[in-house]
Structure 1
Amino acid sequence: MRLLVTRRMTEAAERALTARFDTTLRDDGTPLTVQDARAALRYYDAIIPTLGDGFSAPAFEGGGLKTRLVANFGAGFNHIDVDAARAAGVIVTNTPGVVTDATADIAMTLILMTARRAGEGERILRAGEWAGWQPTQMLGRHVTGSTVGIIGMGRIGKAIAARCCHGFGMRVVFHNRSRVSSLDIPATQLADIGAVLSVADFVVLAVPGGSGTRHLVGAAELAQMRRDAFLINISRGDVVDEAALIRTLQAGGIAGAGLDVYEREPDVPDALRALQNVSLLPHLGTATAETRTAMALRAMANVVALDEGREPADRVN
């Protein structure tokens, strides 16, 4: 099979991919444009794309497609129009499960960074502005024993909840679109997002991306949060109305935010970067060598399944 991998992968992943397929490893770190994706669909048997690649509906239109499988590198696949792919006879898969622990760890990193003002403290230190320890210096918020509200109780939401509960003794409340009946931690499911927003010290967004969750949290939702609460987003950038978040932070409507994703990545507004009460990470959710290799091998397993005449395990359309 002729396979396109749209970004460079870990050394271990590339060895496995090139040993099994006629693999093209694209050396350009920028996402595929819609025109690039359209051309690729007409040349390769399978494609392993990732975040930002332009597999929107126009890429699949017009016939002449050679690609039978788009095996996405990542659990989220809102950059792929799965309905258009289905109509064109193209299978779409993702890489669930293997991203869970690394992403949950980043959520905890952001909770701690925002609560204890770690980013702000490091900036002061690096700038040579630290005058020494004082009893009232850079007082933050206590994480242990506080309330975390999780929006989205899938694999990642559950992993975050377990870390919060078992590691920090936090009370866990959450909202999920469907009823969650099997949890191995004490957690309370609330009826709607507003109920979670109004009681949580830390609100963590762990929902999938896509049209159904775009701007799930906007001005009205931010207004329901307590003024001393923090918003943590490790899902997709457009789940939050970024302009509304900036206005809320500037007005002191909430205490701060911790963000790993952005509405128009890689663009991060100057107004957001200027805020001292915001911890900003460059989309590090799955950025461990082990996780990124596992993601590539999971995507590869779906391509192997197709090549061997089996149903890919992680089909999403």
Structure 2
Amino acid sequence: MARPRLWFPRRLSNAALERAQRDYECVINWDDTESSAEEIIAMSASVDGIVPCHSEFFTADVAEKLDSRLKIIANHSVGVDHCDLPALKARGIVVTNTPDVLSDATAEIAMLLMLGAARRAIEGDQMVRGGAWDFWSPSFMVGKQVTGARLGIIGMGRVGRVLAERARGFQMEIHYCNRKRLGPEEEKGAQFHDSPESLLPVADFLSLHCPATPQTTGLMNSTRLSLLPKGAVVVNTARGALIDESALKAAIESGHVAAAGLDCFLSEPGGNPDFAGLPQVFMLPHIGSATVETRDAMGFRALDNVDAFFSGRTPKDLL
């Protein structure tokens, strides 16, 4: 019996690809370039499964044109906003993701962004690196203290809960907004808010961890940003669509928001050039899960779902 044929439109970790090649016939994009909609549609006629990242878009139009040979899209990501799930389901294509395994790495990046934005890391690094550090006084490079501050988390899923645990090490007071309240064993003393409007006024630091959906797109607009305490810091390691970037820029320029730490943007790759001139914005190129351990785990989780599907079992992460 012929082995199922898988397409990897992006180059995954060496360990994940070694496992895949051991068990499947594989088509691998070793050049690691983005694939167009036309390329995705064309490839679907020659493979049984695709293991894409969030850079490949399966819109309703693409889903309609996929070949009937394609049976599973096993995403190498937690977020699936790049997939039109109803359209793919209508075509009988199974879709999975990779939850759980990237929570620690993403929470680390959230803490890095929070600390870097609060303590003016961009300004300090540029000053020392550029040879411009020639002055000191008690008022020099004063930033915002994280320890003991109030942290607001919107989206208390896996990553949000891990971030809360890390923040407790800084004696932060945890507040969160979620679709439903957590149980006491998961809440661990964090204070629940039933709406962003209730949470935002107490968030000295705000970290976003909810998925991008029609309901959350533009979640942090000018009105909601204005509800934050003056001098708040905004962190986003989830999806760029959650923030109205023009509104955030205006809030920073006005001084209402002191700083921001961003790992994701509306336009990726590339980011938002309007933020480049703002030293208050600490930016990273969407690397929340970029550790060796996590990328291996993501690849293995995607392949676990593929293994289950082709052995006749229900994939663990079926969407």
**TM-score, normalised by the number of residues in structure 1:** 0.96
2:172 aligns to what? Answer: 170
2:63 aligns to what? Answer: 60
Where 2:309 maps in the other structure, the secondary structure is helix
Instruction: Decide whether the 8 Å contact of 1:233 with 1:259 is kept in 2.
Output: yes
Give me the whole-angstrom Cα distance separating, in 2, the residues matched to 1:91 and 1:54: 15
The counterpart of 1:251, out of the listed 243, 251, 254, is: 254
Instruction: Decide whether the 8 Å contact of 2:44 with 2:66 is kept in 1.
Output: no
Is 2:112 aligned against 1:102? no
Give me the whole-angstrom Cα distance separating, in 2, the residues matched to 1:55 and 1:30: 17
Give me the whole-angstrom Cα distance separating, in 2, the residues matched to 1:208 and 1:185: 23
Give me the whole-angstrom Cα distance separating, in 1, the residues matched to 2:272 and 2:305: 37
Instruction: Decide whether the 8 Å contact of 1:31 with 1:51 is kept in 2.
Output: no
Give me the whole-angstrom Cα distance separating, in 1, the residues matched to 2:43 and 2:249: 38
Instruction: Decide whether the 8 Å contact of 1:153 with 1:174 is kept in 2.
Output: yes
The counterpart of 1:299, out of the listed 285, 298, 302, is: 302
1:192-239 deviations in Å (ceiling 9; x for gaps): 101211111100000012323211111111111122101000100111
2:43 aligns to what? Answer: 40
Aligned-residue offset at 1:298: 0.2
**Larger deviation: 127-136 or 51-60?**
127-136
After superposition, where does 1:222-261 map in structure 2 within 5 Å?
A: 222-261=225-264
Give me the whole-angstrom Cα distance separating, in 1, the residues matched to 2:161 and 2:199: 16
Unaligned stretches of 5+ residues in structure 2: none
Aligned-residue offset at 1:33: 1.9
1:79 aligns to what? Answer: 82
The counterpart of 1:180, out of the listed 182, 189, 195, is: 182
The counterpart of 1:273, out of the listed 269, 273, 276, is: 276
Where 1:214 maps in the other structure, the secondary structure is coil
Give me the whole-angstrom Cα distance separating, in 2, the residues matched to 1:101 and 1:148: 18
Instruction: Decide whether the 8 Å contact of 1:46 with 1:67 is kept in 2.
Output: yes
Give me the whole-angstrom Cα distance separating, in 2, the residues matched to 1:41 and 1:235: 29
Give me the whole-angstrom Cα distance separating, in 2, the residues matched to 1:92 and 1:270: 34
1:228-283 deviations in Å (ceiling 9; x for gaps): 10100010011111121112212222111000000111122222111011100111
1:200 aligns to what? Answer: 203
Is 2:73 aligned against 1:70? yes
Give me the whole-angstrom Cα distance separating, in 1, the residues matched to 2:287 and 2:66: 37
Matched residue type, 1:295: M
**Larger deviation: 21-30 or 259-268?**
21-30
**Larger deviation: 256-265 or 38-47?**
38-47
The counterpart of 2:24, out of the listed 21, 24, 29, is: 21
**Larger deviation: 269-278 or 177-186?**
177-186
Instruction: Decide whether the 8 Å contact of 1:31 with 1:54 is kept in 2.
Output: no
Sort the Cα spacing of 1:121 and 1:51 in 2 relative to 1 into closer, same or farther, 3 A. same
Give me the whole-angstrom Cα distance separating, in 2, the residues matched to 1:266 and 1:155: 25
After superposition, where does 1:5-20 map in structure 2 within 5 Å?
A: 5-20=8-23
Aligned-residue offset at 1:62: 4.2
Unaligned stretches of 5+ residues in structure 1: none
The counterpart of 1:147, out of the listed 150, 157, 169, is: 150
Give me the whole-angstrom Cα distance separating, in 2, the residues matched to 1:279 and 1:201: 17
Instruction: Decide whether the 8 Å contact of 2:41 with 2:66 is kept in 1.
Output: no
2:117 aligns to what? Answer: 114
Give me the whole-angstrom Cα distance separating, in 1, the residues matched to 2:204 and 2:31: 41
After superposition, where does 1:129-144 map in structure 2 within 5 Å?
A: 129-144=132-147
1:12-54 deviations in Å (ceiling 9; x for gaps): 1111111111011113434322222222222210000011212
